[in-house]
Amino acid sequence: MTSVRIPGDWPTTEGAARAIQDGLRGRVVLDEPGPPPGTGRVTGVDVAYDDERDLVAAAAVVLDGASLEVVAEATAVGRISFPYVPGLLAFREIPTVLAALDALPCPPGLVVCDGYGLAHPRRFGLASHLGVLTGLPTIGVAKNPFTFTFTAPATPRGSTAPLLAGTEEVGRALRTRDSVKPVFVSVGHRVGLANACAHTLALTPAHRLPETTRRADALCRRALREAVGADPGTDRGTDRGLPSGPGRTGDRGPRARLDPPDRP
DNA sequence: GCGACAG
DNA sequence: ATCTTGTCGC
C-alpha cells in the first residue's frame, strides 16, 4: 500500500476548488462511445474515511470485463485533503484515488467511480475530474439522486429513466435488480451514456451495485482498518510514512448548500 | 428564513 | 462517508 502527499497547490477554499472545476470542465470528452461492455478491463475505485484521525484510504480493483474476476488491486492511504462539501467531493477523494491507480501493476481500462460525472452542479463531478486528470474512460455510478429528479424506472432490471437537471438529461436512473431501488449512472470522460449504462448492467449480475464498487469498497475499508489498527506496539516514535501535507481546510460551521446550477 | 445536497 | 443488532429473504 502506498502513501499519498497532498499537492502543495491543492485548493484550500471552496471558491478555489470551484474555479478549478470551471477551468477543467472544458477538457471533458463526451463524443467517444467508450470501450464495449464485457471486454477488456474495468476498474472500481472507492474511498473510506476516518475523520477522527484525519485518514483516508483508497482502493482500485481491476476486474476482467468478461468474467468479473479480480485481475489486480492496489490501495493508498493519506491525510484528508478537503472537507466534504456537496459538489466538491472530488477534492476529498482524488489525491488518494490517483495514488491507488498509480500503484496498479496494469492499465485500469474503464474506471467506475462511486459518485457522479456529468450529473453535477457544474457538470464536472468526480468521474469527470478523474477522467480528465488521467485521460482514462470513466463513468460514475451513484447510490442517490443527489439534487436531480427522476421518475421511477419500470420494475424489471435494465429499465431506465432520465436523471434530470430541469429538462437536461445529465444521467440515468438504472434498475440493476428487479424491484430494487435504481442506481444513478452518469458519464465521466470518453464514454457515452448508453454505454455507461450497459457497463453498469454488465457489472451487476447479482447485486444492486457494480462488482467494481463492491470490491473497491471492501478493499478500501480493509486498508483503512489496517492503517489505523496497525502495530500499536513497537515503533512508537516512528511515523508510518504518512506525510503531513499542507493540511486540510479548517472546520466550517453551518454553510450554504449548492449554488444553483449555473447552466440554465 | 428554512430546507436540501454524490461520499 | 460513519455510528450500529438483529432480522427478513433469496
Three-class SS state of A213: helix
Three-class SS state of A40: coil
Element (H, E) at A198: helix A193-202
Tens digits of residue pLDDT in A17-34: 999 999 999 999 999 999
Tell me, what's the pLDDT at A237?
37
Say yes or no: Cβ of A49 under 7 A from any atom of strand C.
yes
Measured CA A240 to C1' B3 distance, in angstroms: 43
Measured CA A147 to C1' B3 distance, in angstroms: 13
Is A46 part of any known ligand binding site? yes
Is A114 part of any known ligand binding site? yes
By DSSP bridging, strand A160-165 and strand A168-174 are: antiparallel
The full set of domains in chain A, from first to last, is 29-228 (3.30.2170.10)
Tell me, what's the pLDDT at A256?
54
Nucleotide B7: closest residue by CA–C1': A89
Please answer whether residues A136 and A110 qualify as being in contact, where contact means their C-beta atoms are separated by less than 8 angstroms.
Answer: yes
Tens digits of residue pLDDT in A209-237: 999 999 999 999 999 999 987 655 444 43
Tell me, what's the pLDDT at A241?
45
Tell me, what's the pLDDT at A9?
85
d(CA A216, CA A40): 18
> Is it the case that residue A239 has pLDDT exceeding 50?
no
**Which positions of chain B lie under 7 Å from any protein Cβ?**
4-7
Which DSSP string corresponds to A78-135? EE--S---TT-THHHHHHHHHHHHHT-SS---EEEEES-SSSSTTS--HHHHHHHHH-
Tens digits of residue pLDDT in A32-64: 999 999 999 999 999 999 999 999 999 999 999
DSSP state of A235: -
Nucleotide B6: closest residue by CA–C1': A115
> Is it the case that residue A148 has pLDDT exceeding 80?
yes
Measured CA A260 to C1' B1 distance, in angstroms: 18
How many residues does this entry show for chain A?
A: 264
Mean pLDDT, rounded, of chain A: 89
Say yes or no: Cβ of A143 under 7 A from any atom of strand C.
yes
Please state the rounded mean pLDDT for residues A150-174. Answer: 95
Nucleotide nearest to A259 (CA to C1'): B5
Non-local CB neighbours of A124 within 8 Å, separated by 6+ positions: A21, A22, A24, A25, A28
